[in-house]
Structure 1
């Protein structure tokens, strides 16, 4: 029965990711998640304690997947930005989850995987700066913020601006992100 339990947990995580992506943390409803997962609310509480625990599990999985699929290379931040861009354009649900986390995440328990990976990224950038491989014009925190937000450039536009750029091919959008980060790094 361990396979059934894991399958149920997987369905709950997948349904929760879609629900959180659609409605945010506050707007998500455990009854809709349970129904979409062909499960029940009791199973959510059994596996994740509460809605916040479920959100933490979804975000932890998102962070682990992102670390695996878009690892940082502090000596090549433009390409790292490109990999982040690829990651989120390939899966709009994951992109929306990251947006909701930025919008509503404050006040919720820190997602430990995100905290640890952020600290690791900052240390990698600081090390590259100490070795003279990356500009020191910006602090590691400033550089990481610039890289992460540049990678989300195209998905964070107002609807009015987005209407003007819909004809720009995905490949070109990625190149703009990579080139912009490269420009930021020039001394």
Structure 2
């Protein structure tokens, strides 16, 4: 019977995702991943390379799935608040991405940003925010995204701080979600207000015209490069 390579790779990725979420990069064991997947551990090295390469693949796969499941869409400050709320909801249901990213930050730090595919995908996310807020510069969009990620990821991986600061409440998830949505909406509105004061942007149509050339070139270039790399 022919070996089902695709199924084997998926079994290993699923097992590795659980292992890295629970133990991080340093604490994860290749033999335990193989045993969970029911696959000889030599297959890991054959398909993914060394353990750090497998970790990178797990993180990249989880982030690609997240972008599909929680798209950045809409227009205006309220749309950014809505995105933050949907991202928070996703992380409450599935803590995979926050846990992986915190382990990655603790164990690899700035070395983790060297992947061209990761960089291109995050550049695309910044571009998507400039679609929602056409008056935002790329730096402002990046800062807003970092704020959203920090707020949504931290709550599910630092539950002890929430318990210490906010106490125990039956409706705590809803309270925290509302606080995040409000904070992000206000932060996004501050970007819009700053554009009005500093650059004379007076309405959404003017903001669209101001950013059209910059946004179109950035978006098309980022999407083309990402599609080519993903297809390859």
Provide the TM-score with structure 2 as the length reference: 0.69
* 1:43-71 superposed Cα distances (whole Å, 9 cap, x missing partner): 10111011122112211210111010111
Contact kept, 8 Å, 2:59 with 2:97, in 1: the verdict is no
The match for 1:71 is 71
- Separation in structure 2 between the aligned mates of residue 145 and residue 80 of structure 1, nearest angstrom: 13
Q: Which of the residues 96, 99, 111 maps onto 1:96? A: 99
**Higher helix proportion, which one?**
2
Contact kept, 8 Å, 1:150 with 1:181, in 2: the verdict is no
Root-mean-square deviation over aligned CA pairs: 2.5
Moved more, 1-10 or 173-182: 1-10
**5 Å matches for 1:78-117?**
78-106=81-109, 107-108=111-112, 110-117=114-121
SS of structure 2 residue aligned to 1:179:
helix
Offset of residue 170 of structure 1: 2.3
Provide the TM-score with structure 1 as the length reference: 0.83
- Separation in structure 1 between the aligned mates of residue 20 and residue 97 of structure 2, nearest angstrom: 10
Q: Which of the pair has more CA radius of gyration?
A: 2
* Runs of 4+ with deviation above 4 angstroms: none
- Separation in structure 2 between the aligned mates of residue 116 and residue 166 of structure 1, nearest angstrom: 41
- Separation in structure 1 between the aligned mates of residue 173 and residue 159 of structure 2, nearest angstrom: 18
**5 Å matches for 1:1-187?**
4-73=4-73, 75=75, 76-106=79-109, 107-108=111-112, 110-126=114-130, 128-129=132-133, 131-132=134-135, 139-157=140-158, 159-163=160-164, 164-167=166-169, 168-187=171-190
- In the alignment of these two chains, the number of paired residues is 183
Offset of residue 92 of structure 1: 2.3
Moved more, 101-110 or 52-61: 101-110
- Separation in structure 1 between the aligned mates of residue 145 and residue 113 of structure 2, nearest angstrom: 22
Offset of residue 153 of structure 1: 4.3
Contact kept, 8 Å, 1:77 with 1:182, in 2: the verdict is yes
Closer, same or farther: CA 150–160 of 1 in aligned 2, 3 Å: closer
Closer, same or farther: CA 171–2 of 1 in aligned 2, 3 Å: farther
